[in-house]
Amino acid sequence: MEEPALLAIAIGYLGEDFHGSQYQPKIETVQGTLEQIAYELTWGEKPRERVHSLKLASRTDAGVNVRKNIAVLELPRHIWNGVGQRKMVQAFNDRLPATLWVWGVCEVPVGFEPRFPLNRTYRYRLEGLANWPGSSIEQMEKWLTIFVGENDFSNFCNPRAISDRNRTIYSAKPWINNGQVIGFEITGYSFIWNQVRRIAHAILCLARGDVTISEVEDALYKPEIPCDLGMAEPDWLVLWGMEHEELSYQEPEADLSHFSNSPEWLTFRQRQHWCRVAKAEVRSWMLQDGLSLRLANYKKE
């Protein structure tokens, strides 16, 4: 009996076009869309409750953009040998909506578990928030240092999150473009539900002077005392990527040269207008970057 082929499929998508990544009956989700296409291609079963052909490495909420997520699909060996990497990428993309794309496929060892990467990285574009006042690099570095290390993030997650709320943040640093802080990048082994968006709002509050560093530290270091510092909107959050020992995709550095920086002198209404421009920039960049990743991993056969 032939051993099946286990395939890691690299995907990207625009979050505002889906009701999250995880399958939900009769609702447009990333997993449901991919599984429906796999079914149409006879590569998987018809998606329904508790019957799934694909397993995703990371879950994302509605509105969250994704540069890199991994979906795992098992196929009979003879089908994979007949299709190959290039034709599989093409078959998915020929059927997917323009806001969801496959940019790479590779075979992984049987038993590969996508949900246990070496790390995950998110970026949050704080300057997209209508009331973001700006920050120096030094100030942002100081604020982000608070969250590095192992902590109980009970006050920085959805109240319905799982009971184990201890997470380790490996690094957190300013996201800089054209010499200006536009947000932050944060890397850890795993993240709890809404964790990055709540950290983002805490940083917004610090930048606006609504809270002190001591108050944020108390919220983090004293998780037994409930403290809600708010949650930033999902639109500016990007699941940037993740690392797995078994995967070796080509990932060229993202080109953010067309991102415009927010002028400091804008009125509130003018800034709202600029935020709409910035959102369009993110959408355009996501599509361009998806193509760049797809071309970098294109294999002629």
Cross-strand partners of 70 = 10
pTM of the model: 0.94
> For 5-116, CATH number?
3.30.70.580
Q: Give the per-residue pLDDT at 277.
A: 92
Q: Give the per-residue pLDDT at 238.
A: 97
Q: What backbone torsions phi and psi does residue 80 show, to the nearest 5 degrees?
A: -60, -45
Question: Which alpha helices (H) appear in the chain, and where do they start and end?
Answer: 30-40, 77-95, 137-145, 195-208, 213-221, 268-296
Domain boundaries, the chain: 5-116, 119-243
Q: Give the per-residue pLDDT at 159.
A: 84
- The CATH class that applies to domain 119-243 reads alpha beta
Instruction: Pull the structure tokens for residue 133.
Output: 């006042």
Instruction: Pull the structure tokens for residue 6.
Output: 């286990």
Three-state DSSP class for 241? strand
> Is the separation of the CB atoms in 201 and 191 below 8 Å?
no
Number of CB atoms found within 10 A of residue 166's CB: 11
Q: CA–CA distance from 121 to each of 43, 66, 200 (Å)?
A: 30, 11, 14
Q: Give the per-residue pLDDT at 1.
A: 65
Handedness of CA 231, 149, 181, 234 (dihedral sign): negative
Q: Give the per-residue pLDDT at 126.
A: 96
One fold for 5-116 and 119-243? yes
Per-residue pLDDT of the chain (301 residues; tens, 9 = 90+): 678 999 999 999 999 999 999 999 889 999 999 999 999 999 988 888 777 889 999 999 999 999 999 999 999 999 999 999 999 999 999 999 999 999 999 999 988 999 999 999 999 999 999 889 999 999 999 999 999 999 999 999 998 877 889 999 999 999 999 889 999 999 999 999 999 999 999 999 999 999 999 999 999 999 999 999 999 999 999 999 999 999 989 999 998 888 888 887 788 889 889 999 999 999 999 999 999 999 999 875 5
Q: Give the per-residue pLDDT at 300.
A: 55
